[in-house]
Amino acid sequence: MADYERMKEVILTGRVEEISGLVKQALGQGTNPQDIIGQGLIAGMDEVGVRFKNGDIYIPEVLVSAKTMHIGMEILRPLLSKGEARSMGTVILGTVKGDLHDIGKNLVGIMLEGAGFEVIDLGVDQSPEKFVEAARKKEAQVIALSALLTTTMGEMAKVITALKTAGLREQVIVMVGGAPLNEKFASTIGADGYAPDAGSAVEKLKKMIQRN
C-alpha cells in the first residue's frame, strides 16, 4: 500500500529530496501511477492551496511544494505516456493570456498524454492568436484551456471568438478548466466541455472525441 499520507506531508513541507524515494517505493509496490498522482501528489497540492488561502503559508513555500510535486511527476510522466500506443487526437493545451499558473494545466497534459492524446503544450500566458495558430498548424482536434484567476477566465471567450474568426470553430473541440470555472461559465462562453479536474478532463474528452 502506497504511503499517500507521507507523500502529502512531503509535498506540503516541500521536502524535495524525499519525494523521489516515496514515488519509486509506491511504484515498486505495484501502485498505479494515476493513483499516486491523484491520492498523493494532487492531494498534497490541494492542501497547499487551502493553507495558502488561509494565510498559513506564503508564496515561497508554495513554490517549493510545487517543485516537490514536479519532481514526483517527472518520474511518473513516462509511465503514463505508455498508456496507449495510438494517438487519440492532437490537443493544443495552454494557460490563457495574463495567467501564469501551470500546475493544474501540466497535470491535465500529463493525464491526456497518459490516455493516448498527442499534447502540444504552449505553456502559460498564451494569446488567443497563439492557440488559433497552433490549432491550424497542427490540425488539432482539441484546444484545452486553463485559467486560475477570475481576472483571466474571460480570455477563454476570446479564444473561441478568434477560432470563429479564423473559420476553425466547427473543427475544434474547446475544453476549459481551472479552479474558478464551472459548467455554467463554460456553457455561457460557448465551450464544448468543462472538467473540474485532470481525471475528468480525460474522461470527458475521450467521450467527445468518440462522438465527433
Residues that bind ligand B1M (CB under 6 A): 42, 45, 49, 52-53, 59, 62-63, 66, 98-105, 107-108, 144-146, 148-151, 175-180, 195, 197-198, 201
Residue 105: CB minimum distance to ligand B1M, A: 5
CA–CA separation, 144 and 160 (whole Å)? 11
**Are the C-beta atoms of residues 159 and 117 closer than 8 Å to each other?**
no
Q: Euclidean distance between the first and final Cα of the chain, in Å? A: 40
CA–CA separation, 3 and 8 (whole Å)? 9
Rank residues 140 and 148 by Cβ distance to ligand B1M and give the closer one.
148
Residue 74: CB minimum distance to ligand B1M, A: 15
Residue 28: CB minimum distance to ligand B1M, A: 25
Residue 75: CB minimum distance to ligand B1M, A: 17
Nearest partner of 45 among 2, 10, 81, judged by Cα:
10
Residue 195: CB minimum distance to ligand B1M, A: 4
Find the length of the chain.
212
Rank residues 26 and 148 by Cβ distance to ligand B1M and give the closer one.
148
> Which positions ≥6 away from 6 have C-beta within 8 Å?
22
Residue 5: CB minimum distance to ligand B1M, A: 18
Rank residues 2 and 155 by Cβ distance to ligand B1M and give the closer one.
155
Rank residues 28 and 211 by Cβ distance to ligand B1M and give the closer one.
211
Helices 155-165, 128-138: crossing angle, 10 deg rounding: 50
Nearest partner of 174 among 211, 137, 146, judged by Cα:
146
Rank residues 29 and 35 by Cβ distance to ligand B1M and give the closer one.
35
CA–CA separation, 172 and 156 (whole Å)? 14
Rank residues 19 and 42 by Cβ distance to ligand B1M and give the closer one.
42
